[in-house]
Each structure stands twice: as structure tokens, then as C-alpha cells.
Amino acid sequence: MDASETTDERNPKAPDGGRTVDGHSATRVGVDVGGTFTDVALSVDDRLVTAKVPTTDDQSVGVLAGIDKACERAGIDPGEIDEFAHAMTVSVNALLERDGARTALVTTEGFRDVLEIGRQDRPDLYDLEVEKPEPLVPRQRRFTVDERTTPDGVERPVDTEDVRDLAATLRERDVESVAVCLLHAYADPENERLVAETLREELDVPVSASHEVLAEFREYERTSTTAVDAYVRPAIDSYVGRLVDEATAVGIPSPRIMQTNGGIAGPETVRERAVTTTMSGPAAGVVGAAATVADDDVEGLVTFDMGGTSSDVSLVRDGEAERTTDSEIADLPIRTPMVDVNTVGAGGGSVAWVDAGGALRVGPRSSGAQPGPACYGRGGTEPTVTDANVVLGYIGPETALGGEMTLDVEAAHDALERLADEAGLEDALEAARGVYRVANATMTRTIRSVTVERGHDPRGFALVAFGGAGPMHAAALAESLEVDRVVVPRPSGVLSAFGLLAADESYDAVRTVGVDLAEADRDRLEDVYEGLVADVLADASDPDDAVVERAADCRYDGQSFELTVPVDEPVDAAAVEERFHAAHERAYGYAMDEAVEVVNLRATATVSGVEPVVRHDGGGDTRIDTREAHFPDHGPRETAVYDRDRLESGATVDGPAILEQAESTTVVPPAWSGDVLADGTLVMTREEGADR
């Protein structure tokens, strides 16, 4: 068996989890684009075939190259693929690098500077010279119209001739996209709809309207989210359109795209709502972790995805990824439902450097895929986390990254030697130990931010490690957090791509109502829900198969922030209040005897996906080699190296050990052992009584 093929017996009746196309088991492919590598998971017959290729400047090139590679390994033609799911970094890259569209903002007269004023919160409370980031839309491209809408409706209608004059000005300014966000358009979108429709008639550029992007109160966040949608929309439209055309040309179905909410959607939907793709890739990884690892006997899962550019951390509880509607990307508020992921700039390609005070630092700058770490042999000379892992012996001289990329070990040693000279360290090995510790400390702080800082004891969770580099660092992170169980899924190196195969189709809609729960008109609430449900079902590929869930954002009278609770049909005010009290006590440790306000109503439509089977057939000669590896807390150890794909179900591997596979490497440190489950998942546990 190829080292990148695995299988498992979860459903012997249907090797692909039961999904069929025209009477045969569906052949499905998931492709996740990362900062350094593009990962592919191909489910065909009774196998999962994986591949990893370098990410390209035009991401579609790497996507199709990865599909070709996986199909070649599987012995099929790309035209035999029945379904194609995709996660990408186009929108988040545009935000991080500030190279999105030349965007204009149209808002109500008197509110031109909402984006710049923002909130009074300071990024650093005690820094008197702190500067807020520049708004996506500079002041010279922010325009106003004479209109007035209140929460009760339109008071002064907009003049369409004024809008046409504005369109001429926008045309002269060569804008590439327009965001329209009028005051209180969430309550009555009549004026905003007229402005947006007129601009669409007059201009040949995309127009994002806030009542379509986010029909929710809070002026700054609504404006920011709409501006983000407009800013990234041309790039998403161009990329997705190009990928659809290129896939069709080789006989591959149009891709369905992973959204930030953890659900996939059709290409036309995300082209119209680009803001829903901002955390596409990280969301897929969390979905993959939730699909492959059970959390029945622990409080939950901490998912740890360490790729080439960054590390992403999230929580899974009761089998579901934690979601949020209050997040920031590149210091930009984005209020759209998304998997709650914390990202830190510490990945395998993160560059190690020495700051002005002589301290060793790692990241956030990355070497990327080109030229990449020094050990890639592509011209990179700066020391990275991957180079440190090579020097420590975790990645061996014969290791082929991605199944085929050979390493330049000497280049890694040279890069770490130069870092040692700059930092005043003894040699490359001491520098590598320092880089490993600093990177781990950064990632540990991120895990604490989603556990300890939110009232969760990480010791009650299992740590799920994936990504190309995650399983190498996971046990060390677990030790520092006093976590005793680390789970490494079988397709850990491409788990985000695998998660795409397991993802549901999902759509969200929201509208602000702002009423006291005790005094709310139930018929009015039902009318709002009827509209929301119609909106989400309109996007579903098969509305008859969709399951609709209703929810409400509630708060106590006088509070500034809300908690989301489920809502029955028809609305039961007493049940909503009881659920809110319980949610508040769970989140904050107490409930109050105060009136409850319903702020927003929400609806979500879900069309369930089918989890692919990962059949595991171990056996054969599992031990590859023995080499010296250096463990910062244990010193150098002679370490057994295994082919992870050949480890049989039920096998136990005692540390120190290194488990190699095509897309990732797992390190089992001293005092740890790993048990192989029936589906090939590795569960690492720490020996009782071992020193921390």
C-alpha cells in the first residue's frame, strides 16, 4: 500500500460512508490551500488517498496540481471525481497583506468617518503612542448621501438622481468595489436597497449592501463587515470563477467552498458573499477534527493545527466546533458566524530572529513556500522552526516532505549556526532548542487564551494535533498545559482537506429586532423568522433535505453583549428566558433576576454531509531506522523511527519514537506512549508519575 493510502472499517456496507452517485460510491476530493502547502484528500472506492504540493501564487494552479497528484496515486482520471470541496486563503491574504480591491464606502450624511472612529477601545491600554490600523477605505473614497432612516423606518427617502451623480464620481475615481452601509438599514433597508440597486445599474463593479451582508445593529461592526466584503469580493469572484472554469475544463465538478461558519456552499453563493470565506481553511481543520475524534469521555477537544505559516487553535465541545459572531481579522471587526479560531504566526516556516534586546524570537514572519525554510533547498537561508526540527533530529535526512521533497540538512544546520552566532549561543543545536521552546511557548499561550482565559481547565480536554508540523510539537505543548492525552488523527497532515469531505452545507441569516422578551409580539417574531428561514433555504442546494435551526441573541436589560440560545417553533418566551439564564450561568458563573431582551433573531439551514471512511490496513515492517533526536527536557536519545502507515491497529509505541508518514511527522517524547486505534488514529498518553 502507498504510504499515503489509509482505510478503516466504520461502515463495511458502504466504503464511502454511504454516499453514491448514479449507483456507485462517490469519488470526492477536498483541497485546502495553506500558506506553504496545498493539501488534498481524495476519497475513492474504499481508500483515502492524500497528497501535498507547494502552494502557488495563483492558488488554482496548486489546487489542480494537487488533484492531479492524488488522482495519479489513486489510479483514476480527474474526470472521475464526483464532488469537489475547497478551502482557500484568498480573502484572508487580501486582508493581511492589504492588497484587496480599491473600495469606496457610501453611507448616510454625517457618518462618513464611522470606519475611522471605530470604538474607544485601545489596542494597548498603557501605550500613549499607540496607533489604530488604517481603515480599509481611506477618507477620500468615503461618500455620503442625504437620507434618514431610524429604527422605526424611513424618515427621509434618498434621491436617486443624487445617487446617479455619485456613481459618476465613483467611476471617475476608478473604484473596483463599493460598500453601501446606511444608518439603521438593518431595521428598514428601503433607502439602502435603492442606493445599491442604482449603483449596480450605473457601475460595472460589485456592490455590497449591509442589509444583505449583515442585517444587524452596531453601526461600526456592520460597516466594517460590509467594507471587508466589498474589499475582498473582486479577488474571490475572480479566483472562484477562474477555478470553476479550470476545473470544468478537465472534467472536475465546480468546487463547493468552505465558509467561516464551518459549512460549505456553492461557488455562486460565496462569490456574492465573500466575507463568509475569511477563515475558510482553519474552519475546515476544526470540522475535520470534530469528525474524526470523539469527545465523549473528556470535557472537549482543543484542536491544534500547525501548518507552514501559522498555528490555529479552537475548541470542540459536544461534538460541535465552537462558533462566534464577534471576531477580528487583521484588526478588522467581522461580525459573521464563524468557527471560533485563534491564530498565531508560529508555523513550520516561521522565521527565527534576534530582537534589539538580544532575545530569541520566532515569527510572525514566514518563509512561505518560496523560498521556504533553508532545508527545502530552494534558496532560503533564514532559520525557521522546520530547520530547528531538522537539527533536533525530528525530521531526518531521508524524510521526504509531502512524500517527495528531499531535505538539505546541511543548509538547516548552517542557518541555525548563523542564528546561534547572532544570539550568542553555543552552536546550531542550542539555537534549535531555543527556537523549539520559543515557538512552543507562543503556541501554548494561544491554547491558554481559548481555555484558561475562558474559564476552561485544559487538563480536562484532549489535544488534537494536525497539520504538517502539529504532531511534532503537540506532546511538548501538552506537557506545559498538564494535558495527559494527545490525539493525532490518521490523516493528520491533511486534516483540513479531510474535513472538507466531512463538512455539512450551511447557511446563516440574522436580523435585529431589539425587543423586551416579556413584551415581545410573538406574531412579529414569527414573521421575522419566516423571512430568515426563506433566505437560508433559498441558498440550500436541496431545501427539502435542509434542517433549519432558529436562535436568538439575548441579554439582560442594560448589558452590552449577547448570548445565543435556541428558539422553538412557535416561539416560547418562557423557554427562551430559561435557556438564556442557563447560558449566562454557564458562561459567567451566575444568572440575574433581570428582564431579558431579544436583540437579534437567527436562522441556520444545514444539509448534512457524509463523513468519509478512513480504512486502516497496517502490517509489514514498521520500523524504518534509529537516529539520535534531542529533546529539550530530556537531552539526546537514541530514537526509533517508524512508518506510521504500517502500524497495526492495537499496536503500542513507547517513546522516544518518531512516526513518519507522507504529509506529517509525529514525535512521541520520552515518558509518553502511543496507542493505534482501529481507524489508525494515534492516542498518546503520558506515563503516570512522570516528571513534568
Residue 10's pLDDT is what?
33
User: What are the b/e assignments for 597-609, b being 16+ CB within 10 Å?
Assistant: bbbbbbbbbbbeb
- The pLDDT assigned to 361 comes to 94
Residue 456: exposure state from Cβ atoms within 10 A (0-12, 13-18, ≥19): middle
CB-CB contact of 74 with 44 (8 Å):
yes
- The DSSP bridge partners found for residue 315 are 302
Could you tell me which of 359, 366, 319 has the C-alpha nearest to residue 343?
A: 366
Cell of 641: 523511527
| Segments of 349-427 assigned E as strands | 350-354, 360-366
The CA radius of gyration of the chain, in Å to the nearest whole number, is 26
What are the cell numbers at 336?
A: 459573521
Instruction: Give the list of residues 6+ apart from residue 3 with CB closer than 8 angstroms, or none.
Output: 403, 643, 645, 661, 662
Region for 40 from its dihedrals, namely left if φ exceeds 0, alpha if ψ lies in -120 to 50, beta otherwise: beta
> What does the pLDDT look like over 253-295, one tens digit per residue?
999 999 999 999 999 999 999 999 998 988 999 999 998 888 7
Question: Please, what is the average pLDDT of the chain?
Answer: 90
Q: Are 340 and 312 in contact (CB under 8 A)?
A: no
**pLDDT 10s digits, 73-120:** 999 999 999 999 999 989 988 888 889 999 999 999 999 999 999 888
Give long-range contacts, CB 8 A cutoff, 24+ apart: 208-211: 208/177, 208/178, 208/179, 208/180, 208/233, 209/180, 209/181, 209/185, 210/179, 210/180, 210/181, 210/182, 210/185, 210/186, 211/185, 211/186
Contacts of residue 348, defined as CB under 8 A and 6 or more positions apart, other chains included, come to: 36, 306, 307, 308, 373, 384, 385, 386, 389, 468, 469
Rounded Cα distance, 553 and 562, in Å = 5
- Amino acid (one-letter) located at 458: P
The grid coordinates listed for 175 are 473604484
Residue 631 sits at φ, ψ, to 5 deg, of -110, 115
Residue with cell 442546494: 541
Which homologous superfamily is 294-346+440-502 in?
Answer: ATPase, nucleotide binding domain (3.30.420.40)
- Enclosing H/E stretch for 601: strand 596-607
Numbered ranges of CATH 3.30.420.40 in the chain = 294-346+440-502
Q: What is the pLDDT of residue 691?
A: 61
Specify the CATH number of the domain 507-607: 3.30.1490
DSSP code string of 446-488:
HHHHHTGGGT--GGGEEEEEESSSHHHHHHHHHHHHT--EEEE
- Backbone torsions φ then ψ of 236, nearest 5 degrees: -65, -45
**pLDDT score for 11:** 33
- This prediction has a pTM of 0.86
Q: Which positions of the chain have pLDDT values less than 70? A: 1-25, 400-405, 689-692
Considering the chain, tell me which residue range(s) the CATH 3.30.1490 domain(s) occupy. 507-607
Please tell me the distance from the alpha carbon of residue 584 to that of residue 534, in angstroms, as a whole number.
30
* CB 7, CB 616: distance < 8 Å: yes
Element at 537 (helix H, strand E):
helix 522-539
Report the candidate in 7, 6, 16, 2 with the shortest Cα–Cα distance to residue 44. Answer: 16
